[in-house]
């Protein structure tokens, strides 16, 4: 019996003990939804009706070490098991934050009242732990079959503004449409009181779990909810592109297509979340660089002009310094791979490009997503063979022995404030494919020639 099977058996044990006291246990939330969709979900949530909190605590104590996740909310766990055990509760908003809730545990409110606090009908379906009976108070089964996200209650839905982003995130991950009445409700809800961490959490799920992450942002666009957290993205709407290269339309459309192409590649990358953010941000500069010259649309320098815009956006949504550095690096370089490939550039040029990248392989993938994320009159030329061949050359060169600082000191040079210039010179020789011995000789000659400077 694996851990998941043990957790299911424990859920049944708890349910049996609750039944002995006249209670009833239900699987609830995402576990039920995913099971009905045929998706794996090992995070088990059960809700215990009809027994008092102290009775439930005794039941849990009889099976192991009880952990109170939120005792005032009636939420518990058992050490060694991946099960959340909750009691039905009433919630009433007392402020704008998601923690500003007045909560009352009430084991006897019934399934309809208990399910009413859920966000969407597909998440409000309950299933009896022992009998498997489905309890569907709000039509969630029908919405699940139609692949529709519909809020349970306008009154309770608005108590947590994160649900606006959750609607977009679920739509992207599960490829659901959002009911029109839910779209209209979301338009009325301000997102200004959300924390950065909560916004990042929902966006991250869409970017790394959805087959088409563009749905997340398209949904927010339809809800008129881009301006509060994603104004840089909203600024791309209507920004023109040259039709012969971008028949898909404006920069927004291109960005959405690139995002979905990137989703096909993210599992091959070193940092999937940062990679997807790069796809999202790569053309932010076009909003300020696009101009018409001699009747032609251009966005010269957008990859560098956009970096301050990208940085401002990233610092709003994440505090992960490594992610920010990665995105700024690859976004600033994203035009180079395809440009060098199109020109059939030298190994020296591609080595220099790869050397500048945080992750050279990821740079090739972001360039590929950018290249494929458009509509052309003919199939886009593939640069894969050229770029991966050159990447192989670069990786082979970087695996060779190379000149280090100790090689220079062993050769008689004294470290000084300009010692780094010599190492830079040696590194350039390395990128040019010069082996270590020859590079060391050349660097020592360079040092003698520039003795007064170095």
pLDDT of residue 99 exceeding 70, the answer is no
CA 259, 265, 267, 269 torsion-angle sign: negative
Q: Which residues contact 364 (CB under 8 A, 6 or more apart)?
A: 337, 387, 388, 391
Q: What is the pLDDT of residue 451?
A: 74
pLDDT of residue 397 exceeding 70, the answer is yes
Residue 41 DSSP SS3: coil
pTM: 0.91
- Average pLDDT over every residue of 363-389: 87
Q: What are the Cα distances from residue 364, in Å, to 18, 255, 304, 389?
A: 57, 17, 18, 11
Q: What is the pLDDT of residue 279?
A: 98
Structure tokens, 308: 């301050």
pLDDT of residue 95 exceeding 70, the answer is no
**Alpha-carbon span 445 to 430, nearest angstrom:** 16
Pick the CATH number of 3-146 from 3.10.129.10, 3.30.460.10, 2.40.40.20, 3.10.20.340: 3.30.460.10
| DSSP letter, residue 373 | S
**Alpha-carbon span 25 to 12, nearest angstrom:** 8
**Alpha-carbon span 364 to 81, nearest angstrom:** 43
pLDDT of residue 100 exceeding 90, the answer is no
Q: Which residues contact 150 (CB under 8 A, 6 or more apart)?
A: 120, 121, 122, 139, 143, 178, 179, 181, 182
Q: What is the pLDDT of residue 233?
A: 98
Phi and psi at 361, nearest 5°, equal -65, -40
How many residues make up the chain in this entry?
454
Work out the pLDDT band at 388, boundaries 50, 70, 90.
very high
| DSSP letter, residue 126 | E
CA quadruple 327, 365, 427, 414: dihedral, nearest 10:
40
Structure tokens, 39: 């998706």
pLDDT of residue 421 exceeding 80, the answer is yes
Q: Which residues contact 332 (CB under 8 A, 6 or more apart)?
A: 303, 304, 307
pLDDT of residue 343 exceeding 90, the answer is yes
Residue 148 DSSP SS3: strand
Structure tokens, 238: 């209507």
- Average pLDDT over every residue of 199-215: 98
Work out the pLDDT band at 98, boundaries 50, 70, 90.
low
Which region among 44-53, 291-300, 317-326, 440-449 has the lowest average model confidence (pLDDT)? Answer: 291-300
Phi and psi at 89, nearest 5°, equal -150, 155
Q: What are the Cα distances from residue 88, in Å, to 25, 68, 108, 210, 429?
A: 11, 15, 8, 31, 69
Residue 60 DSSP SS3: helix
Q: What is the pLDDT of residue 431?
A: 92
pLDDT of residue 285 exceeding 70, the answer is yes
Q: What is the pLDDT of residue 425?
A: 93
Report pLDDT digits (tens) over 19-70. 999 999 999 999 999 999 999 999 999 999 999 999 999 999 999 999 988 6
Cβ contact 207:277 at 8 Å:
yes
In the sheet that 126-128 helps form, which strands lie side by side, from edge to edge?
66-70, 75-78, 83-86, 44-49, 24-27, 126-128, 134-135
Report pLDDT digits (tens) over 255-264. 999 999 999 9
The fraction of the chain above a pLDDT of 70, given in percent, is 95
Report pLDDT digits (tens) over 139-149. 999 999 999 99
Cβ contact 113:178 at 8 Å:
no
Report pLDDT digits (tens) over 150-191. 999 998 999 899 999 999 999 999 999 999 999 999 999 999
Question: Alpha carbon 90 to chain centroid distance?
Answer: 32
- Average pLDDT over every residue of 385-399: 96
Work out the pLDDT band at 298, boundaries 50, 70, 90.
confident
């Amino acid at each position: 019996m694996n851990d998941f099977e043990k957790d299911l058996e424990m859920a049944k044990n708890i349910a049996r003990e609750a039944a002995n006291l006249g209670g009833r246990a239900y699987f609830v939330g995402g576990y039920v939804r995913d099971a009905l969709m045929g998706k794996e979900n090992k995070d088990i949530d059960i809700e215990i009706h009809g027994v008092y909190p102290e009775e439930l605590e005794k039941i849990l104590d009889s099976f192991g070490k009880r952990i109170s996740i939120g005792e005032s909310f009636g939420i518990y766990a058992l050490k060694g098991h991946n099960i959340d055990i909750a009691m039905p509760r009433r919630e009433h908003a007392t402020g704008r934050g998601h923690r500003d809730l007045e909560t009352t545990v009430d084991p006897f409110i019934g399934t309809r009242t208990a399910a009413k606090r859920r966000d969407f009908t597909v998440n409000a379906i309950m299933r009896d732990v022992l009998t498997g009976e489905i309890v569907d108070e709000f039509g969630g089964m029908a919405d699940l079959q139609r692949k529709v996200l519909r809020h349970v209650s306008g009154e309770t839905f608005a108590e947590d503004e994160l649900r606006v982003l959750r609607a977009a995130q679920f739509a992207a991950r599960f490829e659901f449409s959002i009911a029109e009445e839910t779209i209209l409700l979301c338009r009325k809800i301000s997102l200004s009181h959300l924390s950065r961490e909560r916004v990042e959490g929902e966006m991250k799920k869409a970017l790394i779990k959805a087959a088409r992450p563009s749905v997340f942002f398209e949904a927010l666009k339809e809800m008129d909810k881009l301006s509060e957290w994603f104004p840089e993205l909203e600024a791309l709407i209507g920004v023109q592109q040259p039709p012969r290269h971008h028949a898909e339309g404006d920069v927004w459309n291109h960005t959405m297509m690139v995002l979905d192409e990137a989703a096909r590649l993210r599992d091959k990358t070193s940092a999937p979340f940062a990679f997807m953010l790069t796809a999202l941000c790569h053309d932010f500069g076009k909003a300020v660089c696009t101009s018409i010259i001699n009747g032609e649309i251009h966005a010269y320098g957008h990859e560098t002009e956009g970096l301050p815009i990208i940085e401002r956006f990233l610092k709003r949504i994440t505090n992960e310094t490594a992610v920010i550095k990665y995105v700024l690096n690859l976004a600033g370089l994203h035009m180079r791979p395809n440009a060098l490939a199109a020109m059939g550039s030298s190994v020296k040029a591609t080595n220099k490009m790869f050397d500048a990248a945080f992750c050279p392989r990821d740079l090739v993938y972001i360039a590929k997503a950018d290249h494929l994320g458009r509509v052309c009159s003919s199939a886009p030329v593939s640069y894969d063979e050229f770029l991966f061949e050159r990447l192989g050359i670069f990786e082979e060169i970087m695996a060779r022995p190379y000149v280090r600082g100790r090689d220079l000191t062993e050769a008689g040079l004294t470290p000084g404030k300009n010692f780094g210039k010599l190492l830079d010179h040696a590194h350039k020789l390395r990128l040019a494919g010069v082996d270590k011995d020859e590079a060391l000789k050349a660097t020592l000659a360079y040092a003698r020639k520039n003795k007064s400077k170095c």
